[in-house]
């Protein structure tokens, strides 16, 4: 057994540099799925059938969403059991990393729709082992006073994934070459964190200085789950239909241009998320910051719904996309802070992750029921309403 692997079971004191290493690892994990699911998967489907196949793509999205939700929860339970027995989650991070790299081989070799769906199923299983272990490790090891900053750090994954998405859409870049390029980058970013010694667990009853009892904690966590569900429905719907939205409202836009626009939005988010995360930690105003970002998200969707030209369409999208990236990242940090006492990190964050994966079903339903009859402007109004409702759940209520 190597010293690096043995380090997974040793313990070292927490320092803020930890957040930098975790940010790099999270960027690697984001690169592992964002470019593939956003761009390479649709191109792979075209390569298999010779033409775009929205039915196969819808099947892939639904299969991936359902698999990811339950796999993330299941791996979270496995990680909790490992920690309960005195071990650490970094061995699971390493296993997930190896599994993702092997799954790329299956995806590259898939030559029929059935083979692709099977490969995608395997990819989602091992990807969520990696994601679950990474998030739960941070929830365990980052102290209370840095949870907001951790949320900001999680935002660095977005520009990393968007940048690689731009590269994978460059002329001459095939699906197989894109997967190979991604596979070379992920270990460089993930391994420095995965091979570190284990840090002491920071979670405990002191995590919530205003603890009011288990039922109130559970209710608060459930509201946070609903907030994330609605925000993710809006975020995934906009991203999934973005190319079609621009085509309907302002004329055809090249996929490469959409990828570049997404990259710009992703670049805006991390500095703001880091600053706002630090502010929310210092002043204890996590909900206020989240509500402000939700207001910007809703405003961006309204602009997208009423705009009359490309400039305002781009402006509205940048408002929405950057605010969504900031809000979802800070929401992750705040959710770690509000995990009910007695609920293990892996299980709690696995339940929260269902709010990231279940929206795939809602997005498919919206695309079928709303878009054909009413168009994408109406969809933007509906999504803006959902975002406003999500914000209402964060407003404190007097008992």
Task: Give the Cα separation of 27 and 157 in Å (integer).
Answer: 4
Task: Give the Cα separation of 295 and 212 in Å (integer).
Answer: 29
Nearest to residue 245, comparing CAs of 399, 62, 375?
375
Q: Is 5 within the bounds of a domain? A: no
The CATH number given to whatever domain includes residue 178 is 1.20.1250.20
Residues ≥6 apart with Cβ < 8 Å to 222: none
Q: Is 286 within the bounds of a domain? A: yes
> What is the pLDDT at residue 320?
96
Q: Containing domain of residue 296, as a range?
A: 13-199+214-394
Q: Is 4 within the bounds of a domain? A: no
Q: Is 1 within the bounds of a domain? A: no
Task: Give the Cα separation of 180 and 185 in Å (integer).
Answer: 9
Residues ≥6 apart with Cβ < 8 Å to 221: 335, 338, 339, 340, 343, 348
**How many structural domains comprise the chain?**
1
**What residues pair up with 11 in beta bridges, in sequence order?**
198
pLDDT tens for the chain, 399 residues long, are 344 444 444 556 667 788 889 999 999 999 999 889 877 888 898 899 887 776 787 788 788 888 988 898 899 889 888 888 888 889 999 999 999 999 999 999 999 999 999 999 999 999 999 999 998 888 888 887 777 788 788 888 888 888 898 888 788 888 999 999 999 999 999 999 999 877 666 554 334 444 434 556 778 888 999 999 999 999 988 887 787 788 788 876 776 777 788 888 888 888 888 899 888 888 888 899 999 999 999 999 999 999 988 889 999 999 999 999 999 988 888 887 777 655 656 677 778 878 888 887 787 778 778 877 888 899 999 999 999 999 999 987 654
Q: Is 399 within the bounds of a domain? A: no
Q: Is 204 within the bounds of a domain? A: no
Is residue 168 exposed (0-12), middle (13-18) or buried (19+ Cβ within 10 Å)? buried
**What residues pair up with 198 in beta bridges, in sequence order?**
11
Instruction: Give the angle 44-48-51 at the CA atoms, nearest 5°.
Output: 90
Neighbours of 2 (CB within 10 A): 7
Q: Is 295 within the bounds of a domain? A: yes
> What is the pLDDT at residue 209?
40
> What is the pLDDT at residue 333?
81
**Do 8 and 91 meet the contact criterion of CB atoms below 8 Å apart?**
yes
Please tell me the total number of residues recorded for the chain in this structure: 399
Q: Which tokens hold the place of 350? A: 């696995």
> What is the pLDDT at residue 216?
64
Task: Give the Cα separation of 142 and 20 in Å (integer).
Answer: 12
Distance, C-alpha 44 to centroid of its chain: 22
Say which DSSP state 142 is in: S
Q: Is 208 within the bounds of a domain? A: no
């Amino acid at each position: 057994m190597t010293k690096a692997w043995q380090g997974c079971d040793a313990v070292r004191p927490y320092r803020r540099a930890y957040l930098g290493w975790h940010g790099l690892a999270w960027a690697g994990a984001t690169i592992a799925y964002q470019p593939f699911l956003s761009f390479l998967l649709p191109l792979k489907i075209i390569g298999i059938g010779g033409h775009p196949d929205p039915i196969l793509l819808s099947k892939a999205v639904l299969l991936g969403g359902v698999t990811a939700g339950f796999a993330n929860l299941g791996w979270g339970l496995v990680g909790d059991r490992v920690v309960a027995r005195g071990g650490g989650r970094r061995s699971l991070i390493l296993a997930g990393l190896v599994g993702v790299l092997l799954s790329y081989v299956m995806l590259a070799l898939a030559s029929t729709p059935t083979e692709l769906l099977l490969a995608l199923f395997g990819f989602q299983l091992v990807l969520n082992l990696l994601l679950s272990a990474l998030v739960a490790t941070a929830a365990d090891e980052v102290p209370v006073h840095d949870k907001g900053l951790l949320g900001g750090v999680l935002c660095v994954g977005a520009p990393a994934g968007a940048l690689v998405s731009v590269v994978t859409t460059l002329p001459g870049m095939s699906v197989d070459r894109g997967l190979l390029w991604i596979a070379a980058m992920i270990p460089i970013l993930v391994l420095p964190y995965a091979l570190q010694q284990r840090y002491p667990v920071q979670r405990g009853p002191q995590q919530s200085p205003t603890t009011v009892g288990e039922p109130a904690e559970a209710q608060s966590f459930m509201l946070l789950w609903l907030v994330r569900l609605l925000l993710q429905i809006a975020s995934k719907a906009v991203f999934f239909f973005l190319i079609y939205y621009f085509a309907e409202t302002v004329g055809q836009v090249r996929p490469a241009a959409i990828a570049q626009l997404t990259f710009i939005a992703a670049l805006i988010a991390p500095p703001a998320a880091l600053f706002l995360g630090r502010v929310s930690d210092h002043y204890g105003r996590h909900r206020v910051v989240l509500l402000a970002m939700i207001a910007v998200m809703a405003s961006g969707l309204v602009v997208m719904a009423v705009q009359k030209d490309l400039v305002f369409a781009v402006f509205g999208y940048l408002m929405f996309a950057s605010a969504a990236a900031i809000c979802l990242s800070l929401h992750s940090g705040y959710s770690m802070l509000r995990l009910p006492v007695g609920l293990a990190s892996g299980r709690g964050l696995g339940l929260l992750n269902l709010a990231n994966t279940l929206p795939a079903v809602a997005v498919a339903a919206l695309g079928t029921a709303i878009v054909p009859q009413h168009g994408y402007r109406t969809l933007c109004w509906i999504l803006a309403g959902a975002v406003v409702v999500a914000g209402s759940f964060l407003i404190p209520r007097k008992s």
